[in-house]
Amino acid sequence: MKIKNIATFTLAFGVALSALQFSAPAQADPFTNAEDAVKYRQSALSLVRANFAHMSGMVRGEIEYDAEAFQERANALKHLSHIPFDAFSGAGYNVTENSDALPAIWENWDDFSEKAEAFKSAAYELATAAESENMRTIRPRFMATARTCQQCHEGYRAD
Ligand code: HEC
């Protein structure tokens, strides 16, 4: 590398670094405060609902079954199933006024985590079942996933 190139590289790298420094303070917990964590998990869960509701319409026959669209929603749910639960630890530990999370979550953390895992597994199985393009295979996996939402909300979400 010529001297000139090193200088250009150093300059570019320096600019990139300072951009990073301005975007957020570096820290182990990605959430700077409880409000951020609550917003993060609620946003993720509303994406979960949007994808789930579209599939639900097809499973119930209210919307015509479209194999490609169903697979897309099922794949999205599978990926989304990982997203909300990180934001219940760290800064997310603090319950805020805007949150419907019940304190029981942190009193029964292992059980809550197991319920999150059950949801992830169900979402994976649903995405696999969707590949069959057969509603008889898909429906039971969809219902099993719906139960995992319900089983967690029962004890851990207000309302
Ligand atoms: C392991 C527990 C758990 C599972 C599994 C779970 N949820 Fe939730 N969900 C929660 C909790 C806790 C809240 C409240 C979060 C808050 O307000 O801080 C919530 C909130 C929500 C919300 C409201 C988001 C908002 O905008 O405030 C929706 C919608 C939702 N869940 C849908 C679902 C659906 C659909 C499923 C299944 C496909 C599901 N959840 C699975 C625990 C769970």
Q: Compute mean pLDDT per 10 residues along the chain, 159 residues long, and list them.
A: 55 54 59 89 97 98 97 98 93 81 94 98 98 98 98 95
Phi–psi pair at 101, nearest 5 degrees: -75, 135
Radius of gyration of the chain (CA): 21
Smallest CA separation from ligand 1 atom 24, residue: 42
The pTM for the full model equals: 0.86
pLDDT at 159: 79
Q: Which residues line ligand 1 (CB under 6 A)?
A: 38, 41-42, 45-46, 48-49, 52, 99-101, 112, 115-116, 119, 145, 148-149, 152-153, 156-157
Residue nearest to atom 30 of ligand 1 (CA): 45
CA of 153 to the centre of ligand 1 (A): 7
End-to-end, the C-alpha distance of the chain in Å comes to: 64
Taking CA atoms only, the protein residue closest to ligand 1 atom 28 is 45
42-80 burial code (b ≥16 CB/10 A, e <16): bebbebbeebbebbeebbeeeeeeeeeebbebbebbbeb
Beta-carbon contacts of residue 38 (< 8 Å; ≥ 6 apart) = 87, 92, 96, 98, 99, 101
Atom of ligand 1 nearest to the CA of 123: 38
For 1-39, how does the pLDDT look when each residue is reduced to its tens digit (9 = 90+)?
455 555 555 555 555 555 555 555 556 677 888 889 999
Residues 6 or more apart whose Cβ sits within 8 Å of residue 71: 127, 130, 131
- Check residue 30 and give its pLDDT: 76
What pLDDT does residue 26 have? Answer: 56
- What per-residue confidence (pLDDT) applies to 33? 87
Ligand 1 atom nearest residue 115's Cα: 1
As beta bridge partners, residue 101 has 157
CB 115 within 8 A of CB 151: yes
Structural domains of the chain sorted by starting position, each given as residue range(s) with its CATH number in brackets: 29-156 (1.20.120.10)
Cβ atoms within 10 A of the Cβ of 98, count? 10
Q: How far is the CA of 16 from the centre of ligand 1 (A)?
A: 37
